[in-house]
Homo-oligomer: A and B are copies of this chain.
Amino acid sequence: MAIKFTDLDKTTTFAELAVLQPAVLKKELTNTRVEAYSIPAGGSLNFNYAASPVYETHIELLQKLADEQQVIEKYHEVASGSVMNTGESRKVLHHLTRGKLSADVIEDDIDLERFYASQLKRLDSFSDQVHSGVIKGSTGKAFDTVVQIGIGGSDLGPRALYLALEGIMTTQKMKAEFISNVDPDDAAAVLRRVDPETTLFILVSKSGTTQETLTNRDLVLQKVAAKNIKGFNPSKHMVAVTSNSSPLASSDDNLESFFIDNYIGGRYSSTSAVGGLVLSLAFGVDTFKDLLGGAHEADAQALHQDIKKNAALMDALIGLYQRNVLDLRTTAILPYSQALSRFPAHLQQLDMESNGKRVNRDGQPIDYKTGYTLFGEPGTNGQHSFYQHLHQGTDVTPLQFIGFSESQYQEDLIIDGSTSQQKLNANLAAQIIAFAKGQEHENLNKEFPGERYSTLIHGKQLTPRTLGALLAHFENKVMFQGFLWNVNSFDQEGVQLGKLLTSKVLSGDIDDSALVSFVELLS
């Protein structure tokens, strides 16, 4: 079937969808619905949408919309290596870092799956040698710490995944730290905590030209040099993750370089060497492979044409209905798991950088809303922070809960008749119902309107495998929403103007009088 690209408001289905009122949860939300509205999401996770605003009439139209927008066909195009990143004329191949979904992707006689697999093998072998002490620091000490220097996609995803796995990995091999901000205090704080002699730095920049990352590399090198450690050789403490063609690729300043290519976007790069090297060094490569396995399962699950079997697509479609029909402008990510403390920050980049777009994939203006504002904090902490606004504020915020039956550390105790994990999940279940059904009260200050929508992704425990599936679920959801909105989810032209003006400021080449004034204010 030929692939067509149609703006959302030009589809025949959207007009039908736009007149549908939301499901009334106070009436609809029963145990029957909780049991029925559940879809496997890969990695033993399930996506439950019982507390979302859709019922069968919506689902039929959402299916029709997905079919009309050829969402699954477009996913196959991505998987088989079509140039789906139109703005930058690139393939989109992050799925291939965790396994093949389609025909081989060949370019210049190279099978790109094998290229990614070969990089995985290289980092497997490298991390093994670091762990076994074959590769040591320049002063003869074993490495016990890894510091990732990167920003944006080279930082948020890997850092969120590292924090998510610290609790479950009782046999952590190396401690990891991250330096991202060009604020010199970021590097200064990390450098106070680490011993250069036992530290391996990973420099992560696809282009090899990221201002923050190169500055921090140089800052770290100069700081370490200033310590005058006898016999210390910085090039034996620095590895790079970059593209083949970058200035960092074959630098003598690095012990080793690992490669990604232009088909892995920064915010989709956690399952490439960008996330793989730091996670393999910290936890061993098998942990990273488990994560890839979970992600691949979720990717395969997302190939279903039937939206009742495709968690990521159902999630995407519900989000679209909330955004474009109900005019809701925000979404909160609420993991009831402290280990996922920085996962919302990663999803914030993934979602807002991918779909915060005002032109379609062909660069034509569009006349409907695209990506929403995404934010979140772990529960139950958020309950004692912004939930007041979510329950009783004047805007409705759709909620995405995440929960697990078991804790990670498994160091739990019964206090007042229940474990902490039971308390945590009692809170989570109670919140879903409180948001959906509200509470009448004669004192309006104690009344809860209800009809505040949520979905729930849940599993037995947050492990490398479930984490991989969770990551891929959201990546695929974002990609599907991009297809539905007909935007290019894989470029980020909106970051360019700030870079341009910054370099003008730094080179003293500014003609805007207000910009001159602001620079002076901050000098």
Contacts and interface: CB of A to CB of B under 8 A. Distances in A.
Number of copies: 2
A338 interface: yes
B408 A185 contact: yes
A424 interface: yes
Contact of A184 (B420, B428, B456): B420
Interface size classification for chain A: 35 or more
Majority SS at the chain A contact face: helix
A391 B494 contact: yes
Nearest to A186: B338
A425 B189 contact: no
Contacts of A434: 497-498, 501
B380 A183 contact: yes
A358 B394 contact: yes
A256 to B, nearest CB: 24
Interface stretch (A94-102, A246-254, A362-370): A362-370
Most buried by B among A189, A387, A445: A445
A348 B393 contact: no
A392 B492 CA distance: 9
A432 B338 CA distance: 34
Nearest to A332: B373
A423 B211 contact: yes
Contacts of A379: 181
Contact of A518 (B338, B411, B432, B488): B432
Nearest to A433: B515
A384 interface: yes
Interface stretch (A66-74, A133-141, A148-156, A305-313): A148-156
A24 interface: no
A409 B185 contact: yes
A180 to B, nearest CB: 5
A218 B420 CA distance: 10
A29 B512 CA distance: 9
B392 A356 contact: yes
Nearest to A348: B386
A370 B393 contact: yes
B433 A358 contact: no
A457 to B, nearest CB: 11
A114 interface: no
A87 interface: yes
A495 B411 contact: no
A229 interface: no
B456 A329 contact: no
A446 interface: yes
A8 to B, nearest CB: 12
A29 B516 CA distance: 12
B50 A359 contact: no
A109 interface: no
Interface stretch (A9-17, A30-38, A473-481): A30-38
Contacts of A180: 381
A381 B151 contact: yes
A407 interface: yes
A22 interface: no
Interface stretch (A195-203, A274-282, A502-510): A502-510
A75 to B, nearest CB: 22
A30 B514 contact: yes
Contact of A521 (B48, B184, B219, B506): B48
20 contacts: A48-B521, A50-B517, A152-B381, A167-B189, A183-B337, A184-B407, A184-B421, A189-B338, A191-B411, A215-B416, A222-B415, A266-B384, A330-B330, A356-B392, A358-B393, A375-B375, A387-B494, A391-B495, A430-B504, A433-B515
Nearest 7 Cβ contacts at the A-B interface:
A356-B389, A152-B384, A430-B501, A356-B393, A34-B517, A375-B375, A188-B409
